[in-house]
Amino acid sequence: MKTHEQFADDLALYALDELTGSEKKDFEEHVAACVACRRDLQMLRGDLGLLALSSSGPQPPARSKERLMRAIASEPRRKPQVAQTRRRRLWPTLVPAFAALGLLAFTAALLLNRSDLQYQVAILQTHNRDLGDQLDRLNEEVRLLSAPDAVHVSLNPQNSPRRPTGTAIFSPSQKQLMFMATNFLPVSAGKAYELWIIPTAGAPIPAGLFKPDEHGNGIILGEKLPEGVTAKAFAITIENESGSDQPTSPILLVGTVS
């Protein structure tokens, strides 16, 4: 029957998985009942893990390495069986392999986590930009609607059973223009509705493009009134989605400035 000190001498061999057969069974039964040996075994296993990573990862604490070396040095020399000798010869080649696999898994986890964080940051940045753009548009709309000289012009259909309507709002002092459309029919691919300023003198001036949503609504924001132009009316035509310098189709809606 082994003494406590003899079992303590086998701690390093067990941590390295070098005990077999009855030796391993007797040791495990002793460790299950011995608090001191169980604590020392846990410390040795932790030291082995740190030592395995030290070849290409962070350096383990010096005290861990020294403690492990002392434990190995204190092992009594014994005549190993043939099977044990083969296993021990394999161990020096397996430790770097396991360490490399552990480091590879750790690095992959870090890269995946970093990629996920970068993706979340990109989404938040895009969301913030969208909110900023919406806020800018709302501020422009509020400034225009609250301008003392804001003029509202209703555009009425020329011929349409669905009766689309539109309202142009502009401020001569702010040189700002917006247009809101309701109940508009969809346009074909490559086409869009174009708003025109009809000046008191000269040819119609393009003032923005829009495509209605599924409810027939559309809006034009952020358009500037041309310098030195006095609008007498506004009109809507269908043009190419890239826009046109002059109307190329019949006027669908028109509204005069009162």
pLDDT digit string, tens, across residues 123-172: 777 777 877 777 777 777 777 777 788 777 777 665 655 688 999 999 88
Query: Which has more pLDDT, 16 or 201?
Result: 201
Classify residue 32: in a domain, yes or no.
yes
Classify residue 124: in a domain, yes or no.
no
**Structural domain of residue 187, as residue ranges?**
151-256
Q: What percent of the chain stands above pLDDT 90?
A: 28
User: Of 48, 78, 108, which closes a domain?
Assistant: 78
User: Of 31, 62, 78, which closes a domain?
Assistant: 78
User: Of 26, 58, 78, which closes a domain?
Assistant: 78
CA distances 24 to 11, 125, 147, 223, Å, are 11, 58, 90, 85
Tell me the pLDDT band of 81, cut-offs 50, 70 and 90: very low
Q: What percent of the chain stands above pLDDT 70?
A: 67
Please state the pTM of the whole predicted model.
Answer: 0.44
Classify residue 160: in a domain, yes or no.
yes
Q: Which class for 142: exposed (0-12), middle (13-18), buried (19 or more C-beta within 10 A)?
A: exposed
Clarify whether residues 165 and 249 are in a common domain.
yes
Please report, in angstroms and rounded to a whole number, the separation of the first and last CA atoms in the chain: 113
Which candidate, 136, 149, 156, 145, places its Cα nearest to that of 178? 145
